[in-house]
Amino acid sequence: MPIYEQTYRRWETPRLRGGRWLAVAAQELRVARTSALYRRLLLLSCVPFLLCLFLLLVTDLMTANPSMLLRSLVRQVQFTNIDARFFRMYISMATPFAFIFCLLVGGGSICNDHRHNLLEVYFAKPLGKGEYFFGKLAGVCYVPLCVTAAPALGLYLLHMIFSPGTALEFVRDSYWVPGACVALSVAVVVPTALFIMACSAVSRSTGFASVIACALLFMNSAFGNVLAEVLRVQNLRCLSYTRSLVYLGDLLFGDRTRITLHWGFIIAGFAVLSLLCAGVVLRRIRNVEIGS
């Protein structure tokens, strides 16, 4: 086609049948990338990883060093023991970043499309509400999971590489840690993302959605803790979403906890919250697309 040819042409290339949710997710990330705050936060979120990487390298290299003095010095510092608690510590450090990313991306995910009348345009294309929903969810969850689960797995691998002498022993003792890291990261990110998307679906702006989400989380946390103190029942702390996450982390990483509630209740609580939030989002989308 000559470069000066600017008339309307027919386009006969084959179309993809599925995978539209990937396009939605990629667009969500593209929109998020336009925010300077998001880009700065992306850089800042590397800090916990770099800090843990530094500790891991120091520990591994010092442990490998024949100097007994240095080795015993390193062993004195409790958190430089590379065990399950080290990875739990990393995820705890990365969780606030994951929450802020969910807030930044998810806060505007639905309401901006509504406010700018984009849903009508999108659903006039062969896009289903399920594809749209999963695309948005994937877009919101992608970076938070990259900040929590992916670096934790990377640290695990790096530890095996930098301490070849004890790698087998380490894997035998902590083979469940990668799974626990992924499970805790998913438990932190997915319900949070859905909750913030639901807040976005019922509000008109990103700021408003973020304020609603923060306020509800704060009230929920306060409610759970106050109720537990008043009634002196520790298990009631699990009514608080944030406390439930901590408890789930304790269970997954084998830490001691004062809560005796069965883990099934916590998982069921997260599932109910996720389904409720997904229902709110889908209901909002359904108002636009009702076709078969």
Partner 1 sequence: MTTPGIGDGAAIVEVSGLTVRYGRRTALDRVALTFREGISGLLGPNGAGKSTLLKTLLGFCRPSEGTARLLGQPAGARSLRRFVGYMPERDVTSPKLSAVSFVAYCGCLAGMPYRDALQRTHEVLNYVGFGEERYRTMETYSTGMRQRAKLAQALVHDPRLLFLDEPTNGLDPIGRVAMLDLIRDIARQRGVAILLSSHLLPDVEYVCERVVLLDKGRVVEQGTLAALTALQGHRVSIRLKEGTGRFARRLAALGRAVEQQEDGSLVVESATAADRKLLFRVAADEGLQVRQFMPVRHRLEEIFYEAVSGNS
Q: Which residues are near partner 1 by CB under 8 A? A: 6-17, 20, 23-24, 26-27, 30-31, 34-35, 116-118, 120-128, 288-292
Q: Which is nearer to partner 1, 108 or 151 (CB)?
A: 108
| Inter-residue contact 119 to 24 (CB < 8 Å) | no
Nearest CA among 244, 247, 252 for reference residue 174 = 252
Q: What is the DSSP letter of 45?
A: T
Distances (CA, A) of 247 to 8, 37, 137, 186, 244: 61, 31, 25, 15, 5
CB of 12 to partner 1, least distance (A): 6
| Inter-residue contact 104 to 214 (CB < 8 Å) | no
Nearest CA among 278, 19, 279 for reference residue 128 = 19
Q: Which is nearer to partner 1, 260 or 292 (CB)?
A: 292
Q: Which is nearer to partner 1, 38 or 170 (CB)?
A: 38
CB of 144 to partner 1, least distance (A): 20
Q: Which is nearer to partner 1, 24 or 103 (CB)?
A: 24
Q: Which is nearer to partner 1, 122 or 253 (CB)?
A: 122
Q: Give start and end residues of each alpha helix (H) in the chain.
A: 20-33, 36-44, 46-64, 68-76, 84-101, 111-115, 118-123, 129-162, 167-174, 177-201, 206-231, 241-252, 263-286
CB of 14 to partner 1, least distance (A): 7
Q: Which is nearer to partner 1, 24 or 74 (CB)?
A: 24
CB of 288 to partner 1, least distance (A): 6
- Compute the distance between CA of residue 16 and CA of residue 183 in angstroms, rounded to an integer: 33
CB of 244 to partner 1, least distance (A): 35
Distances (CA, A) of 13 to 8, 10, 21, 96: 15, 9, 20, 45
CB of 122 to partner 1, least distance (A): 6
